[in-house]
Amino acid sequence: MKDRYSRQTLFPGIGKKGQEKISQKHVLIIGAGALGSGNAEVLTRAGAGKITLIDRDYVEESNLQRQQLYTEEDVWEKLPKAAAAKKRLNAINSDVEIISIIGDATPEVLEDQIKGIDVIIDATDNFETRMAINDISQKYNVPWIYGACVGSFGMSFTIIPGKTPCLNCLLRTIPMQGMTCDTGGIISPAVQMVIAHQTAEALKILAEDYESLRNSFVSFDLWRNQYTSMKMSKAKFSGCLSCGDNRTYPYLDRDSMTKTMLLCGRDTVQIRPPVTGEISLEQLAGQLSTLGYKVKGNPYLLSVEMEKERMVIFKDGRALIHGTKDLTHAKSIYQRILG
Amino acid sequence: MNKVMFFAHLRDKVGKECLLIEASGKTVAELKAEITKEYSLDKMDTVMTAINEEFAGNEEIIQDEDVIAFIPPVSGG
């Protein structure tokens, strides 16, 4: 198909040379939910050489409103997102090699996949994985593009090792109780706006037009009509453990990860977050009951009835997920609620 | 005087997109603590701050007329 990329090569920022470069590059997309689906579709249509997609979930009905690669059939078949995405992406552009990995993007998995990657796209739903991506990016000198959204609000920032500050410079710690799509809801336009920012930056990196990268941290609210672009030149933190002089890559360490443990004979998984702190059970209870979950609580814990499972969350962030023996699934449920 | 802007769920909690506050001479951390108390917000430790559209750390001192924006990192995707 000679004409396939003609409109993209006519665009002066890319041209024939840029297209040639794009076609030789390998993109790693972490997560195949809303942001993952959209990023993967744009870059598959744009003719990236290879795309590796990692995701641990399967397709559910509540995904269809915004996760553009999936269909009702995928829901009936309970297909893993990584598998359903590969099927659809292959149908869109057979020139692009799609590698799908069904599983959790742990530091070990990231270390296994990083070789030969030109850019990492963040499409996860939690900060623990983002901090691991951030450390991998610094350790192997591969750029990554942060993107996140909730409600009508979204944000993105491009992190280039050695040039820009990193995510750990900005946050210094993993935020507890970050708003997630399962607690704050989400509308598709917010997703699409983040995807647009991420994929434009990814195309610049793939076409090697580094001069055109954005440098600033963007955030916007499409319902409240707010848009802000924050300059980041002063944000680099010299003592940063991920990108500073005495770096240790703390988030690649097993001890910094959420611990999951199957409780013997109880059909229950215990989840322990990497940082302990106080979460506001009252606020969480309010959010969850607005969303229609049945919530019961006391000053020490909160019990949430979910479709199949029941989750009990303690004040220090520890949780028990009753009704499952699947560690990855339990962690997924936990991070959907607590970020 | 300083214009202080709120994004995402902070805007909902405060009930307004922006406030006019006399904050000059205070550090970002002090302003955060004050607002947290007044609007019974959760801890704002990991909320990012921009002063005049430039990233600012918790120790930075606010000047008169500075425009401050509080941007909470979100995790959905």
Domains of chain B with bracketed CATH: 2-71 (3.10.20.30)
Per-residue pLDDT at B12 exceeds 80: yes
pLDDT of residue A177: 60
Is residue A306 within 8 Å of residue A332, measured between CB atoms?
no
Handedness of CA A232, A21, A138, A156 (dihedral sign): positive
Per-residue pLDDT at B60 exceeds 90: yes
Residue A329 neighbours by CB under 8 Å, 6+ apart: A56
The SS3 of residue A9 is helix
- How many angstroms separate the CA of residue A294 from the nearest CA in chain B? 22
Nearest residue on chain B to A124, alpha-carbon basis: B77
CA distance A101 to A80: 10
- CB contacts under 8 A, B 23-52 vs A, are 42, 45-46, 48, 50
Structural domain spans, chain A:
6-252, 258-338
Answer yes or no: do A36 and B77 touch at CB < 8 A.
yes
Answer yes or no: do B71 and A125 touch at CB < 8 A.
no
Q: Which fold has domain A258-338?
A: TATA-Binding Protein (3.30.310)
Phi first, then psi: give them for residue A4, nearest 5 degrees. Answer: -50, -45
Regions of chain A with pLDDT less than 50: none
CATH superfamily of A6-252: NAD(P)-binding Rossmann-like Domain (3.40.50.720)
Place of tokens 């703390």: A250
Place of tokens 């390998």: A26
- How many angstroms separate the CA of residue A337 from the nearest CA in chain B? 10
Is residue A150 within 8 Å of residue A337, measured between CB atoms?
no
Answer yes or no: do B74 and A177 touch at CB < 8 A.
no
The overall average pLDDT reported for chain B is 93
Of B9, B56, B77, the CB nearest to A33: B77
Answer yes or no: do B46 and A172 touch at CB < 8 A.
yes
| Whether the domain at A6-252 and the domain at A258-338 fall into the same CATH topology | no
Q: Does B54 touch chain A (CB under 8 A)?
A: yes
Residues in chain A: 339
Answer yes or no: do A217 and B75 touch at CB < 8 A.
no
Give first-to-last CA distance, chain A, whole Å: 43
Task: Kindly report, residue by residue over B13-45, the tens digit of the pLDDT.
Answer: 899 999 999 999 999 999 999 999 999 887 788
Nearest residue on chain A to B17, alpha-carbon basis: A224
Q: Does B11 touch chain A (CB under 8 A)?
A: yes
The SS3 of residue A124 is coil
pTM for this structure? 0.87
Answer yes or no: do B46 and A217 touch at CB < 8 A.
no
pLDDT of residue A32: 97
Of A149, A230, A283, the CB nearest to B74: A149
Give alpha helix (H) positions in chain A. 6-10, 15-22, 34-45, 72-76, 81-92, 107-113, 127-140, 167-171, 181-184, 188-206, 281-290, 327-338
